[in-house]
């Protein structure tokens, strides 16, 4: 285990030596300085778990150090020491941010007990923050009810997520950019047995190659310039939880080898270290690339591909699940009503028609951005064609069939759009119902029942 590092700021050499021997024997890593000025310089470069600081010192005393170091030491517990202490001195030190105060001469057990209390307090603070963060995440999102979809394609995705959520099996999520791959990864984590543990995300294409290894596996003090202290990597942070490796197809080949070892041996080696650390991590990866093609090009290791591709979840693009568009539109309008303080009621039938025929190369993210932009520009409470970006309006089919009044419900929008699309398909195929059904991607019996329902003859 990494030693807890403690800084001793004390002008008396004998006292420094006594504290050094005592604390090193108790398992601490000790750094010694002779006054507040030296302490200020050291804390500007390194981080410590605890600081023991004398009050009476030359050059810079303990109180001045506390005032000057408030930004660099942040919430590090500082324990003040003095042979000239009074209650007023102790109170003043506490006001300046000190955790505790002990009077000289003191017994070794007093120092160790005070440090133990400080350590327990920091542990409780850390656990409380982690619990608070966990509650907020669960409240915000990541249950299936927060993923807006009713299409059969997405219901199949949800079924698969439910089956794999409780297992440590590696999952590869494949889908175009903007389809919501991270949302599915979070659904797997928060609906599974590891939801109590951390979920750590890392974008393999968003971090420079020179930094990616240290971000993933951590580093030891002195491993490179500016490595002032040991730092945990994302794999260690995700211990007993889940790590999400987004855009894994962007991972450089040298790191692919190291990742393969982590998956096989369940251990990491921090940068600058020769020792390994065991990690218990569930890996979920995602990519928009065709990894089989990347293997042929020599850009992705075949052995790593088979290691991460135990279970594959294909996330369909928005154009393959158009029945979700009205539902998503309603969801985003409600979202931006709250965010932008608007009171939008919906979209015009002409806008919804355009949404249904647009290809959505940017998928759900593009739809969200379009609705946010339109919500900002809309002068009324219905989104009109004039509120849409020019490129979306330019790719328009000839109008026909839908009214231009505002649509007040998803059900109404879906009914009108479905009727309109069937009319167009029948017109384009000259009334050939088999060809029309194929064009609409539905079966012929379903098309016949809808033709009857809409009175289309």
Q: Given strand 78-82, what is the order of strands in its sheet?
A: 28-33, 4-9, 50-54, 78-82, 100-103
Residues of the chain with pLDDT under 70: 1-2, 85-86, 134-146, 393-414, 457
135 within some domain: no
Whether 274 and 329 share a structural domain:
no
Range of the domain at 111: 4-121
What's the half-sphere exposure (Cβ side, CA atoms, 13 Å) at 385?
Answer: 12
The DSSP element (H or E) to which 347 belongs, if any, is strand 346-347
What is the model's pLDDT at position 399? 43
173 within some domain: yes
Domain final position from 265, 288, 316: 316
Whether 34 and 180 share a structural domain:
no
Whether 202 and 337 share a structural domain:
no
- Return d(Cα 346, Cα 26) in angstroms, integer: 67
Whether 68 and 51 share a structural domain:
yes
Number of domains in the chain: 3
127 within some domain: no
Peptide bond into 105 cis (omega under 30): yes
Q: What is the pLDDT of residues 138-192, one digit of tens each?
A: 444 444 546 788 888 898 999 999 999 999 999 999 999 999 999 999 999 988 8
Residue 326 DSSP SS3: helix
CB neighbours (10 Å) of residue 292?
Answer: 11
User: Angle at which helices 433-440 and 410-428 pack, to 10 degrees?
Assistant: 130
Strand partners for 281: 241
CA angle 62, 68, 72 (to 5 degrees): 110
Structure tokens at 313: 């979840």
Residue in 177, 192, 201, 196 with CA at minimum distance from that of residue 284: 201
Q: What is the CATH number of the domain that holds 381?
A: 1.10.8.60
What is the model's pLDDT at position 140? 47
Q: What is the pLDDT of residues 89-117, one digit of tens each?
A: 778 888 888 888 888 888 888 889 989 88
Residue 348 DSSP SS3: strand
Q: What is the CATH number of the domain that holds 54?
A: 3.40.50.2300
Give Dmax (Cα) for the chain. Answer: 102
3-state SS of 38-95 is HHHHHHCCCCCCEEEEECCCCCCCHHHHHHHCHHHHCCCCEEEEECCCCHHHHHHHHH
What is the model's pLDDT at position 136? 59
| Rg (the chain; Cα; Å) | 31
Structure tokens at 15: 């006292």
Whether 282 and 336 share a structural domain:
no
Residue 178 DSSP SS3: coil
What is the model's pLDDT at position 415? 73
Backbone φ, ψ for residue 324 (5° rounding): -85, -15
What's the half-sphere exposure (Cβ side, CA atoms, 13 Å) at 454?
Answer: 17
Whether 360 and 263 share a structural domain:
no
CB contact set of 132 (below 8 Å; sequence gap of 6+): none
């Amino acid at each position: 285990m990494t030693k807890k590092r403690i800084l001793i700021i004390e002008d008396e050499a004998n006292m420094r030596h006594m504290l050094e021997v005592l604390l090193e024997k108790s398992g601490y890593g000790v750094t010694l300085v002779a006054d507040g000025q030296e302490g200020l310089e050291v804390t500007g470069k390194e981080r410590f778990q605890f600081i023991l600081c004398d009050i009476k010192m030359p050059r810079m005393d303990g109180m001045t150090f506390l005032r000057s170091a408030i930004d660099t030491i942040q919430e590090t517990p500082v324990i003040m020491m003095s042979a000239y202490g009074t209650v007023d001195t102790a109170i003043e030190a506490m006001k300046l941010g000190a955790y505790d105060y002990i009077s000289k001469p003191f017994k070794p057990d007093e120092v160790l007990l005070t440090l133990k209390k400080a350590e327990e307090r920091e542990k409780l603070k850390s656990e409380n923050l982690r619990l608070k963060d966990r509650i907020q995440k669960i409240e915000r999102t990541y249950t299936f009810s927060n993923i807006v979809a009713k299409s059969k394609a997405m219901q199949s995705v949800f079924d698969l997520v439910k089956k794999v959520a409780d297992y440590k099996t590696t999952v590869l999520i494949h889908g175009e950019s903007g389809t919501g791959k991270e949302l599915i990864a979070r659904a797997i984590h928060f609906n599974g047995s590891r939801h109590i543990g951390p979920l750590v995300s890392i974008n393999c294409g968003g971090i420079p190659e020179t930094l990616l290894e240290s971000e993933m596996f951590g580093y030891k003090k002195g491993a490179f310039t500016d490595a002032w202290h040991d730092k945990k990597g994302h794999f260690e942070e995700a211990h007993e939880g889940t790590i999400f490796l987004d855009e894994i197809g962007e991972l450089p080949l040298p790191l692919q080898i190291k990742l393969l070892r982590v998956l096989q041996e369940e251990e990491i080696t921090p940068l600058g270290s020769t020792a390994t650390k065991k990690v218990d991590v569930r890996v979920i990866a995602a990519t928009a690339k065709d990894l089989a093609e990347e293997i042929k090009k020599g850009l992705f290791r075949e052995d790593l591909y088979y290691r991460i591709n135990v279970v594959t979840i294909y996330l369909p693009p928005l154009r393959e699940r158009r029945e979700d568009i009205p539902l998503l539109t309603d969801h985003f309008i409600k979202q931006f009503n709250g965010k932008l303080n608007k009171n939008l009621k919906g979209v015009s039938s002409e806008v919804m028609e355009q949404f249904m025929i647009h290809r959505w190369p940017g998928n759900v993210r593009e739809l969200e951005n379009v609705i946010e932009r339109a919500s900002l520009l809309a002068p009324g409470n219905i989104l009109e064609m004039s509120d849409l970006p020019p490129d979306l309006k330019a790719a328009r089919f000839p109008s026909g069939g839908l009214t231009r009044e505002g649509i007040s419900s998803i059900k109404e929008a879906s009914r009108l759009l479905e009727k309109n699309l069937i009319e167009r398909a029948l017109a384009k195929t000259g009334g050939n119902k088999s060809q029309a059904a194929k064009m609409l991607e539905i079966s012929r019996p379903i098309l016949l029942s809808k033709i009857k329902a809409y009175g289309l003859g």
